[in-house]
Structure 1
């Protein structure tokens, strides 16, 4: 029997409600099914957040990774589609899957150290830019992967359902963010297949001193949007704006991005991220609140410098 940490159990219950409880009740049966179906032996799981992920050993001694997902919102199918489209280029390869049960068998990346373990933030940002460059590809024509335009509609729905704001997100903030989001989507020049959840914990060290991505959510949009989740993660307690600004400057230089669009996407997405946190856990996240303020501050400063120039 595999032990599931209490924090992970509570997250599954909080996010997935009755579906999550049913999944937890059937978890050991699901593990047994995987062991018999693929002739594998589960190892101790990795640090768990929203999905169960663990290394496993196959009958011939090969190492793989098993990911078990609570089905319900279509995220599993979208991740499968994204992995197929990326086809192992700059990302851990999908080996097998079973849609009906939410099971993925993935290539195990070795040595597999997380980018989050690096202490030098500039070095981490440069590595991340290289992973992004290797992964991004022109958007497929026909795909079930969600688009930035669908996310815009979801953003509009949030404001309709919360006309007076929600928690620390005021009515004025939601209106402003919605207007900015629409302005950005209407001026996108090129659409790419994006990772959709790029951050320090989703990039691992691989062979020959390279790094690859894992756990894509899959999103079709512009490149500037895909860097935002990285900017939101592993931030210090203070001087958040300085760290974000430094990271953006490196990414802009390495990837030829538009800094103003990164800042505006950052403001919108951090508001969206805070809403998701409130929706999932019932309380706001203080760091994300500081991030929202930081993006607005940095954009105002950029606008002033542009006018002075």
Structure 2
């Protein structure tokens, strides 16, 4: 049951609570499967949650996702999926947050949008933009207290600057610029339900709809934030200049497709790229291998296009 990547990630993020969850995972899987009348199939690639194919009592395919109950991820994913209501995203079929369990629609055939990159990158970007429009049309729940307010992510910049100052892997001025810019963008923007991590690995080919989003983070904030992950994915850990070279065309296409000014796409892209590597650097210590990804390369590419 215990996969090495899953175990490592869960212990790193949730500490002792994660270790206890890993120990109890086989029992929780059996209990939820019995209670919900599920036949358990093969797990998917595992990272921070246990995610497996299941079949419901009526023969319908589904996905069972189990996570640490005390964690925030499933507790924001569930209300985001409920708000989307199956429009552009997989449906939430059942939830038991006290046990950290979500039952989800299975997207079939399930091919990832990343398969279109780079040979048809414009088509992949068009798919993502259309999903974005559909997702952002969802009404914001009132009150939206089960979703995370986007402005809270700006605190990640503050923590980085307080801990690393001028001695971190990311230049201080780059982080400070992103922190101030994010707060400006949030203050001047709209408020919609955001997926929060919409990129090429979280968009799957479906049958009910041509493409469906999975694994939302569940945020409320300005729609421009959604554009950022599309610029540094897929494979952000691969610092491939050919993938970075796709970004200017993506910026122009996204601006046109979602009716956001180019300068705002550039600004949100810069913010999201810096924030991604700020998160990558959370556990970095002097002497460690650099945590920087292609996101930093793209942030530097966008930097000259920011407003003075």
Residue 55, structure 1, aligned to residue 53, structure 2 = yes
Residue 146, structure 1, aligned to residue 148, structure 2 = yes
Aligned to 2:278: 275
Aligned to 1:222: 222
Note closer, same or farther for the CA distance 1:250–1:183 as it changes in structure 2 (3 Å cut).
same
Pairwise CA RMSD of aligned residues? 2.3
Shift of residue 29, structure 1, vs aligned partner: 0.6
Q: Is the 8 A contact 1:277 1:284 kept in 2?
A: no
Q: Is the 8 A contact 1:180 1:264 kept in 2?
A: yes
Q: Deviations over 1:273-302 (max 9, x none)?
A: 1122222576543424xx324333334147
My pick for the range that moved more, 12-21 or 61-70, is: 12-21
Q: Deviations over 1:85-141 (max 9, x none)?
A: 111111111111111110001111222211122242111111111111111125334
Counterparts of residues 198-213 of structure 1 (less than 5 Å)? 198-207=198-207, 210-213=210-213
Q: Is the 8 A contact 1:15 1:280 kept in 2?
A: no
SS at match of 2:53: strand
Aligned to 1:261: 264
My pick for the range that moved more, 71-80 or 99-108, is: 71-80
Aligned to 2:301: 297
SS at match of 1:204: strand
* Whole-angstrom CA distance in 1 between matches of 2:130 and 2:116: 15
The counterpart of 1:86, out of the listed 68, 84, 87, is: 84
TM-score, normalised to structure 2, is: 0.88
SS at match of 2:14: helix
Shift of residue 163, structure 1, vs aligned partner: 5.6
Aligned to 2:133: 133
Q: Deviations over 1:222-243 (max 9, x none)?
A: 1211011121112561144421
Aligned to 1:307: none
Q: Unaligned stretches of 5+ in structure 2?
A: none
Note closer, same or farther for the CA distance 1:263–1:155 as it changes in structure 2 (3 Å cut).
same
Residue 285, structure 1, aligned to residue 286, structure 2 = no
My pick for the range that moved more, 247-256 or 92-101, is: 247-256
Q: Is the 8 A contact 1:155 1:178 kept in 2?
A: yes
* Whole-angstrom CA distance in 2 between matches of 1:240 and 1:267: 16
SS at match of 1:66: strand
* Whole-angstrom CA distance in 1 between matches of 2:41 and 2:71: 28
Q: Is the 8 A contact 1:66 1:106 kept in 2?
A: yes
Shift of residue 72, structure 1, vs aligned partner: 2.8
Note closer, same or farther for the CA distance 1:114–1:106 as it changes in structure 2 (3 Å cut).
same
TM-score, normalised to structure 1, is: 0.88
Residue 175, structure 1, aligned to residue 181, structure 2 = no
Shift of residue 165, structure 1, vs aligned partner: 4.4
Q: Which has the higher helix share?
A: 1
Aligned to 1:187: 188
The counterpart of 2:110, out of the listed 105, 109, 112, is: 112
SS at match of 2:254: helix
Q: Is the 8 A contact 1:51 1:67 kept in 2?
A: yes
